[in-house]
Each structure stands twice: as C-alpha cells, then as structure tokens.
Structure 1
Amino acid sequence: MPYLALALAGCRGDSTGTPSQPGGRISLASLQAADAGGRFSPWSPPVNLGPVVNSDGLDQDPTLSPDALSLYFTSDRPGGYGIWVSHRDCRDCPWQTPVKLQLVPDDFEGGLGPTQAVGAPAFSRDGHLLFFSRCVDCDASHFPGSSDIFVAHRSDPTDDFGWGPAVPLGPGVNTTANEDHPFYLQSAADGAVNLYFCRNEPGSSRFDIYAAAVTRDGDSRGSTVLVSELSLPGINDVAPTLRADGREMVFQSNRPGGVGTRADLWMSMRRSALEPWSVPENMGTPVNTSAAELQPSLSFDGRTLMFASDRAGSRGNDIWMSTRTSTGEADSDGDAADDGSHDTAPRFSDWSRPVNLGPVVNSIGPDFDPFISKDGLSLYFTGGRNRPGFGLRDIWVSHRASVNDPWEPPLNLGPTINTDAHESKPTLSADGHRLYFASNRAGGGDWDLYVSRRRDKRDDFGWEPPVNLGSGVNSVASEESAVTLFEDDVTGTTTLYFGSNRTGGSGDFDIYASTLLSDGTFAPATLVPELSTPFIDQDPAVRGDGLEMFLASDRPGTFGATDLWVATRTSTLEPWGTPVNLGPLVNTPSRPADQEQANDWRPALSFDGTTLYFNSALRAGNVSDMFDIWVTTRSELTRPDDHADAKGHAIRRGGRDGHHGGH
C-alpha cells in the first residue's frame, strides 16, 4: 500500500512513549469556560461517510472546502493513490462519487512515479490555495526523508480542476527532514505564524507540531518554530487543524491518557493567537475509541470535525464526521458567549433619501472622502480648493457638540499631516489616537497609506509626523483608497481593509486585508477575493460588528460610473457574500451626456451601521459642480440576540461597542 499506511510510524501512525505532562500552563477547562465549552454543544457521535466516499482500502486526510460543499481526501482506491474530491449540493445533501485530482508538482512533468505520492490537502480560507504533502520513495514499511509541503493556486475557488502547478514551500519550511500535514491559518491574528505542520527532525522517529510564516506563494517569512507547549518527548503530535479564529486546535497524538492505545484526537485552546496553547486534553468518547483516530480536520466555523479511523463500522480505514452546534450559553463573566457566528444579525430598515451636508461642510470646490468618528461627533474629509490649505487635496475635520447639533466650520489639520502633495482618504481609529490616510508625497510608492498618532484625542493639531505603513501594506502600485479597521473582540484581531491596484489581484483596484501585529506594524496584505472583480473595487467600510462591508465599485450593475455596494456575512469567521448594489435612491444614475462623471464612492459607516456618509458627483443639490459629501440613514429594527446584563444594559454581540454616531 503506497504512502503512509495506517500502521506507519510517524506523522500518520503510531509510536510509543511514556513522558510526563508539562505543568504550569493555563488549563483547557478555564479557556473552555469562556470559549468553546460555553459556545458549542458536545461533539455528536461520529458518522461514517458511507460507501460513496469510503472504499475498501485507505481513505484518510479529509478536509472541507470553505463552503463545506467539497471534501478533499487521500485514497488508494482503484484509480490510484492521491487526492480525491467529492461534492454535495448542500450541507445536508449526500456526498457524490469522488473524482481524483491531478495535483502534480511542477518538477514532475511526466507525472508521479509509483513511489511518489501526494496527500494531506488543506485549503486556505478563501479557497484559492491548496497546501498538501508530496512524498518520494514511499511505501507501507518505510518513511523516507523526503516528504515536503507544496502549494497550488487557482483563480476560481469553485474549480477543482483549475489548480495550477504546485510549488514547494521555501527552505524555511521544507528541510532534509519530513514535513507533512500542513494547515494554513489565513486569518492568523498575529499576522506572522500562519502555517502549522508536523516535522520529524533528522534521526528522530517521532513528529512534532511546528509553526511558520509563509507568503501565499509559499516563501518563508522568518523562522520556523517548534510549538513547544504541545511537544512531549517520544510522542507523535501530528496533523494540526485549527478553527478559523486561531483559538482552538485539534491534533492527533499517541500521548498517555488516550481512549485508545495507538492514536487519539486531542484538543488545545488559547485566548488569542499571541498566547501559548493550553495543556492538551483528550477529546474522549464518542470521538475517540479503542481503535485509531487520525488526521482530524475542523471546518472553518468549528462546527464540523472530519477524521480517519479504522474503528468498528469501517470498511478499511474510513472517513468519519462529527458535528456540534453553537449553544449561545453564558461564559464565565456571565455574558452571552460569542463564537463570531452571529446567527441573528441586526436588521435594518431601508436607507433614506440622501441629504447634502450643506455649505458649512461642502464648499464650491471638491469635498469628498468623508469619515465619521466612532462617537459620531467628528467628520474627517478631503477638500476644498476655496479654503486656504497646503496642497490641492488636504485633510480637514468638522466637529459638532452632539449628534443632533449642526456641523461646525471645518479645520485644516495643518502642516504635520498636509503637504504640498495630495493627502486624502482619512480614517480615524476607534480610540481616536491614530489617523490613517493616503498620500502621493515624496518617499513612497505611487500612492501609499500612512498613519499618524496623537496622545490627546481632543487635540486636532497634536498629530505626530506620519509614518508609512510599510511594505506589508504598500506596494510600488497605488494604494489610493480609504481604509477601514475591524477590531474583533472575539479573536482579538484588528484587520485593516483597503484597496490597491497592485499586480496579482483580480482586476483594477481590488480589496486587500492586513492584520495588525503586536509591534504596531501590519502583516503582508492578502487579497479578499470575494470582494474583488476585474473592475474597480475600493474604499471599503466595515460595520462595527464586522458583518457588513460597503465599498465603491464600477462592476456591472452600476447606475452611474461608480456606485456604492454592500456585502454581508453571518459570521466573522466566514467569507463575505457577493456585494449588492445599494440601488438608485442612494446611487446617482448617470445622465447620458455625463456618463463617465456620475460617481458615488468613499462610503463611511457609523459604528452602529445606521448612518452612511459618502461623496457624490453630479447629484442634484450639490453645492459644488464637482464632489459633495452626502448622508443617508436607516433605523435598526429589533434585534433577537440583544439581551441585558445584570445592570440592565443592552449587550451586543460582535466588534467593540461604544457610543454610536448619529447623522
């Protein structure tokens, strides 16, 4: 039987050892109280996927696609050892007959030989990448020193036969030892460690779990490290799989305390991606049995667990599935726990007819790129040629005493922020201490993104000299786009979304995401494919709970040259849905003679999602004959998941709460 049979010692098999459990770390139980134990039901009794998926031979290494409708796995069934795929039309629909994939590394032009095999597939969260292992000189009795990790790309995340040539990961990951069973944590909150895998060091018969930082092209970014808190002497700890928020890991191990004697599934948790893992605990029955449970794979939402086992009821080595549901139970603080799934998202009325902000904010020159502060009392924007400034485009701010008071005359932010070049697209952090903006000033790329900081959030002129966001965010192309920050209380992650027309995207400007690191810098940005098209997609604006994203686009279906669109999702752990046009009440239909000039763009959403600012050209009622700032509002309807705390205060699920801005 080729490549890593069930009884094979190593990354897919069994070993022996009697180590002691490390101590002094936080227990899994204490983390469960505030996380999975209070948010998920127990795992259901596993179900065999049946004879359509499972064969009489070896079926293992299962992994679900991001939408959970495709199952990739390894099999040695008739047709040859390799990675196979089965589909289903819905989560409750039956699996269809598997088809073998032709995933051939680019150094094998003639195909894989009889002792060369691929296995252990793992998707990226966006469905565009597939990581897997390739083994050379493999058979059932010998684990060679030549198992490496590869990655393949596809442009269409639904095309199982659109994978390009696979390439090996860089030397920081692949070594003369064996590297196997990769898991790519695309939403890694630390922005660096995003690949987990197992490795046996030269001369060792056991495997440990390692973590590395890699680019989407498989290049290493920094050191590969042993996940020491999960490592035990003489024990095989292998096949790591994580929930999308990076806080829960399931892996295979033969450590003491298992239900079986060969290999069980174990789990560990952590408070955030920047903290160590808890002491692992056995998943117990009914997941584990006296047989071997191998190669676990968690769905991205953490509700489905696939694994391989030769337990009773198997035809050979079969794939099994267990599920759990979100419970909504209270955590240890008494608040409703939140897994980011948001089964009952807030509901809103339709948007009102937009209103011009009037001549105090809008001038006879162009005024555009609005941003509303979290408290709703400060409006930042780009403008206006009839006011004294430092360049053609400067950043201004207008204040008001309350959300029911009028806007005051704008103030130019001064020469620390503004230069004789262009400054635009301002965005203020939720705490009011950081200002992000775009500029084509000297020293950057075409247009780059910058950040300035201030100590006193009431001081409009206390900004420090701006700092370029660096190569993780900026490129040699243009980042002339608004940014939006989503601070996720569930994962502890701050994500920066922005637009760029760099190479490697889907079209003109595309939407990218970057994660804030602990040192205040941003990780290398990745494409958000579900929001990007061959057309212009830029100026993202996310609602405070992370479930709604507005953007500007000229994709098909616009009423003008550029329109406002909105995408939603039911969970911060899931991809965005297909954007929908806000319609002709908000967007300006083009007049035939002005087809290329009717634009609505740069949406800016209040934190609570009830007020939307944007700029518009050629809309009846403009103060200028160019760009003015407009506002539209909507009401939040009764939300089923609202509840009161012990003091009677409303508790909302999602991102950081605070005073919500009005209009």
Structure 2
Amino acid sequence: MMNIRIVSVAVAAVCALGACSKATPSGPAEIFPGAEAPDHRNHAYSMTESLDGTIRIYTKESGDEAWLYEMHKEGNSWTDPVRMDLPARQRMKGASFSRADGSLYFATDAEMPPPFKGKDLNIWRVEWNGDSWGDAEPIAGDINTGANETIASIAEDGTMIYVSNRPEMDGFGYGLGEAHQDESGAWKVTKFLTDLNDVRTDDHAVITADGKRIFFYSHRTPKEGGADIWTSTRGADGTWSTPANPGPPLNSEANEFGPGLSGDGQTLFFSRDGVLMEIPMEQALAGLTEQ
C-alpha cells in the first residue's frame, strides 16, 4: 500500500509540472464535424466572417449551380446554414466581407445593366443593417467585364485583390489583380498581378486586414496535392513577394482551395476536398518558417 501511495504522489507531482497536460490541438479541424462527405460536384469553400464575428457565409456548389449560405451566431452557437436570397441566375459565389467598411462583396451571374450582356460572373456589393440585407448592386468601375470575376477581397486601407479570367491577367486563365477606389467611389484596376499569376488557375484570393498578405489557391508546382493554398506578402513599396507554398499542416495530399478569414484575422478558413476546415493562422503559416 505504501508503494502505491508513493507512486501516486510522484505522478501527481509530475502532472503538477505540466507533463500530464493535454497537448494543444494542432492542424486543421472540420467546421461541420460529422457532416456527410461531399462528392466531386458538391463542394463547400470560401468561408468569410463579418468583422464582429457574428456572420459566416460560404459557397456551396451543387452540380452546375453555386449558392451562398449564411450562418448567424446566437450566443455561443451558430444557426443552421440558410441559402441567401441575393440576385443570381444559377451561380453566386466568392463572398468576402470588406475589412474597410464591413460590407459584403460577392460574385454572381445576375443580369447586369447595359451594356453588359451574357451570364458571366460579376462582383456585387450588399450591406447588412443589423437585421437584414439591403439591396445588392454591381460595383461601379472597371472591375466587371465580359469575362468572369469570381471574388474580390478588400483590406482596411482599401486595397482590393480580385480574380478574373480577362485576358490581361495572364493570357491563359484565372488570375489576380489589384484595384482601388477613385474619388467617386468607382473601383479602378491598379495593376494586373502578372508576377504572381501562373499559367494554371489562380483563384479564391483573400487579403488580410492589414493588406500585407494574400492567400489564394493554385495548381502550380511544387505542391502537396492536386491544388494547394499559396501565399504572398506585400512589401513597403507595394510589390508582392514570390508566392510560397506553406506546406503542411495547411496543405496535404488532398485538394486545398477556397481560403477565407475570420473576423479577427486569427483563423484561416479553407476547403479540403470540398470539406470546410479551419486552422489557427500561426499554424497555417508554420510551414513557411521551416522552409
């Protein structure tokens, strides 16, 4: 009996020093744990969260259609996702809360005013008044074209990073561009980020609130899986660094795409083979310090 007591006291002493504490969870976690796994035509991605952390919106594909779903925080829990009632024909995607004014920017194939024609995707904007969404309208300026504009993300300083497949991006497919508002509030292209764009698709871009880092998905190499999330930082002179692949634990042998940010910027949302995931920002970038 004495030996058992001695061992128990020793174990208690070790635990008091922290040796028996649980390890801090590391790596990505599912946002909807236990949900049915999606098939290849039913993916969820590009989750965005309002600045106050009370609204989450993400894209969900269903066959050839894509729709935005919203969730609202009530106490310590989230409401069930509900499809948003915003203008669209069959495709509504790429939502992103502006870090400059809190409004929601999203891509939709809704009918545009003349001279626009066709059913391509364009960037629209809508505001939340605390109880409901206002009237959505296409943004003014030269961002929207006859090509597809799939997402626009805005930093606190008003820098917009957007994605389009207009030829000026890289001449091959979807690529990144930068824009700012003029005195009238219209969005004007500042530059096409041809130094960042690859001959393969670069899409689902999001810029951090401080405007110093962007995340986007790409099929470029070297990569961990079929598609990875890449990142680039903006220097004091406004130029963007050569894109880097953070590697694990953010990227894996699966397909990672659709990055998005929490309201406080401390969590990176993304999709792994169509399943919505979240990871602390410091863990998402941990692989860069090891390269």
- Whole-angstrom CA distance in 2 between matches of 1:81 and 1:52: 23
Residue aligned with 1:229, SS: coil
> Structure 1 residues 297, 217: closer, same or farther in 2, change over 3 A?
farther
Cα deviation, 1:89-114, whole Å, max 9, x if unaligned, reads 46xx443311222112xxxxxxx44x
Instruction: Tell me how far apart the structure 1 counterparts of residues 282 and 232 of structure 2 sit (CA, whole Å).
Output: 19
TM-superposed CA distance for 1:202, in Å, is: 4.4
1:213-270 per-position Cα deviation (integer Å, ceiling 9, x unaligned): 13699622x44420233123x122222212211111111111111111x210011112
Task: Give 1:54 deviation, angstroms.
Answer: 7.1
Structure 1 CA distance for aligned equivalents of residues 80 and 139 of structure 2: 31
Distance 1:217 1:166 in 2: 19
Matched, 1:304 2:267: yes
Distance 1:126 1:268 in 2: 20
1:145 and 1:177 in contact (8 A); partners too:
no
Give secondary structure in 1 for the equivalent of 2:195.
Answer: helix
The equivalent residue for 1:87 is: 72
**Cα separation, partners in 2 of 1:224 and 1:270, compared to 1, 3 Å:** closer
Q: Contact 1:53–1:97 at 8 Å: present in 2 too?
A: no
Query: Which of 51, 59, 75 is matched with 2:60 structurally?
Result: 75
The number of aligned residues is: 247
Task: Name whichever structure is richer in strand by fraction.
Answer: 2
3-state SS, counterpart of residue 133 of structure 2: coil
How many angstroms apart in 1 are the aligned matches of 2:240 and 2:139? 25
Offset of 1:173 from its aligned partner? 0.5
The DSSP-based 3-state class of the residue aligned with 1:230 is coil
> Can you list the C-alpha shifts for 1:17-54, whole angstroms capped at 9, x where unaligned?
xxxxxxxxxxxxxxxxxxxxxxxxxx941111125877
Q: Which amino acid aligns with 1:231?
A: N
Taking the aligned partners of 1:75 and 1:285, their CA distance within structure 2 comes to 25
Within 5 Å, give how 1:530-549 maps onto structure 2: none
5 Å-filtered alignment, 1:38-77, equals 44-50=26-32, 56=38, 57-76=42-61
Residue 211 of structure 1 pairs with residue 178 of structure 2 = yes
Q: Which one of 215, 229, 233 corresponds to residue 250 of structure 1?
A: 215
The answer to whether the 8 Å contact 1:198/1:207 transfers is yes
> What amino acid does structure 1 have at the position aligned with 2:143?
V
Q: 1:126 to 1:170 in 2, by over 3 A?
A: closer
Match in the other structure for 2:192: 226
Q: Does 1:150 align with 2:124?
A: yes
Rate the CA distance shift 1:131–1:198 in 2: closer, same or farther, 3 A.
same
RMSD of the TM alignment (CA)? 3.1
Aligned partners of 1:53, 1:119: CA distance in 2, in Å? Answer: 21
| Post-superposition CA distance 1:340-393 (Å, at most 9, x none) | xxxxxxxxxxxxxxxxxxxxxxxxxxxxxxxxxxxxxxxxxxxxxxxxxxxxxx
Identity %: 27
Q: Equivalents in 2 of 1:218, 1:101: separation in Å?
A: 26
Q: Is the 1:66–1:123 contact (alpha carbons within 8 Å) kept by the matching residues of 2?
A: yes
Equivalent residues of 1:120, 1:132 under 8 A apart: yes
Q: Of 278, 300, 303, which aligns to 2:241?
A: 278
Quickly say closer, same or farther: Cα 1:44–1:51, change in 2 above 3 A. Answer: closer
Q: 1:291 to 1:212 in 2, by over 3 A?
A: same
Change (3 A) 1:81 1:251: closer
Q: 1:364-403 maps to which residues of 2 (within 5 A)?
A: none
- For the pair 1:99 / 2:82, whether they are aligned, the reply is yes
CA deviation vs aligned residue, 1:484-512 (integer Å, no higher than 9, x gap): xxxxxxxxxxxxxxxxxxxxxxxxxxxxx
- Matched with 1:129 is 103
List gaps (5 residues or longer) in structure 2: 1-24, 112-117, 284-291
Give the residue type in structure 2 aligned to 1:99.
V
Match runs of 1:530-569 below 5 Å: none
C-alpha spacing 1:196/1:292, structure 2 compared with 1 (3 Å):
same
Q: Distance in 2 between matches of 1:215 and 1:120?
A: 24
- Alignment partner, residue 269 of structure 1: 233
Distance apart, 1:280 and its partner CA:
1.2
Q: Describe the SS at the equivalent of 1:75.
A: strand
What is the one-letter code of the residue matched to 2:84?
L
Structure 2: distance between partners of 1:215 and 1:166: 21
TM-score relative to the length of structure 2: 0.74
Q: Whole-Å Cα distance in 1 between the matches of residues 167 and 223 of structure 2?
A: 27
Are the equivalent residues in 1 in contact too, given 2:45–2:259 (CA < 8 A)? no
Q: Is the 8 A contact 2:48 2:57 kept in 1?
A: yes
Write out per-residue CA displacement over residues 85-136 of structure 1, whole angstroms, 9 at most, x where no aligned residue: 123346xx443311222112xxxxxxx44xx321111112366411000126
Contact 1:253/1:264, CA 8 A, preserved across alignment: yes
